[in-house]
Amino acid sequence: MTSFANRLHREILKKQTPALVGLDPRWDQLPREIQERASQQGGSDAAIHARAFEEFCLRVIDVVSGLVPAVKPQSAFFEACGPDGSRVLANVIQHARNAGLIVICDAKRGDIGTTAEAYAAAYLAGEDPQAAPYAADALTINPYMGVDTLQPFVSRADAVGAGLYVLVRTSNPGARDFQDRQTDDETLYTAVARQVENLSLQLARGETYGSVGAVTGATYPEELAVLRKVMPHTPLLIPGYGSQGGTSQDVAAAFDGRGLGGLVNNSRGILFGFRKGPLAEEFGEARWEAAVQAATVKMIDDLAANTPAGKLRQSSK
């Protein structure tokens, strides 16, 4: 069985970029043609929104699958549509996997041991897409309840070749409130980082990276640089690029000399770039898929020019 870290890095090397497209569908920002088609079939608002999210996400996946190694569906938007949304989330994950993409389901789960086992069984399919109802390659998880609550996710990930991304230092302004608290002689987030590194090292089995990753926001570049040093065997998932203000320079410290070790997420900036600024002028709503493609290529080029991820292109020459 190939580990999540190895499958991820194989895909990153193939696509020559660490750009990750976040699938965060928002009804009020969808192209009107999709809203109208979904509405014509009738039903409750939730059913209509779920239908529209499905068409939108499937079409986005078709545009980006040749460009990036991975996508990150944000479960919240699908859950907000109730049972129809949950079905659509599963379909979106399946479609992305069929297109050869690594899928990180962003549901930020975490609970006592036996409950965590159920969450892990729901989401973590690893290599076999039939192995879980929401058949993701990896899942975001919340460590706040303690190391014992991470263990069932780690065991499942190890058993099926799946991955995890543990929230360590998040991208939001309130990340400081609890995560920066001093505990003994370090901050809470560095204490969490050390635990994550231990878990990842166990799963790495002599390879550079294990399959327990960490979420570290692009909006805090200094903390990101510290965390990369604290967690040398841990793959990083870095949200906050683009709409939240993070830049390519801000994420540069995440990558090793080969350009591996990080994935940089962009959701709104790619999905809804057609709504404002230069992409709106060039493509407009009618050519929204071309705008998605252009926004993705722009991000890929930006990361290649301003971070060690540029090595991914050089190494293939």
Sign of the CA dihedral 283, 287, 288, 291?
negative
Position of minimal CB gap to ligand OMP = 170
Q: Which stretch binds ligand OMP (CB under 6 A): 109-117, 143-151, 235-243, 299-307?
A: 235-243
How many Cα atoms are found within 13 Å in the side-chain-facing hemisphere of 114?
0
CB atoms within 10 A of CB 58: 16
* 239 touching ligand OMP, by CB under 6 A: yes
The angle that helices 288-306 and 45-64 make with each other, rounded to 10 degrees, is 50
Q: Residue 236 phi/psi, 5° resolution? A: -105, 140
Nearer to ligand OMP, 151 or 243 (CB): 243
The angle that helices 45-64 and 32-40 make with each other, rounded to 10 degrees, is 130
108 belongs to the catalytic site: yes
CB atoms within 10 A of CB 128: 12
Segment 125 to 184, residues that bind ligand OMP, using CB under 6 A: 140, 170-172
Query: Residue 263: enclosing H or E segment and its boundaries?
Result: strand 262-266
Residue with structure tokens 């969450």?
119
* 65 touching ligand OMP, by CB under 6 A: no
Among 74, 190, 234, 293, binds ligand OMP (CB under 6 A): 74
Going by C-alpha positions, the residue among 290, 150, 206, 283 that lies closest to residue 5 is 206
Binding mask 277-316 for ligand OMP (x = CB under 6 A): ----------------------------------------
User: In this structure, what is the dihedral angle of CA atoms 192, 151, 114, 132, given to the nearest 10 degrees?
Assistant: 110
Instruction: Kindly state the smallest distance separating residue 314's Cβ from ligand OMP, in Å.
Output: 27
* 200 touching ligand OMP, by CB under 6 A: no
Instruction: Kindly state the smallest distance separating residue 267's Cβ from ligand OMP, in Å.
Output: 3
Catalytic residue among 108, 298, 311, 317: 108
* 217 touching ligand OMP, by CB under 6 A: yes
Segment 22 to 61, residues that bind ligand OMP, using CB under 6 A: 22, 24
Q: Which stretch binds ligand OMP (CB under 6 A): 91-99, 201-209, 264-272, 281-289?
A: 264-272
Query: Residue 40: enclosing H or E segment and its boundaries?
Result: helix 32-40
* 265 touching ligand OMP, by CB under 6 A: yes
Q: Which positions touch ligand OMP (CB under 6 A)? A: 22, 24, 74, 106, 140, 170-172, 215, 217, 239-240, 242-244, 265-269
Catalytic residue ranges: 108
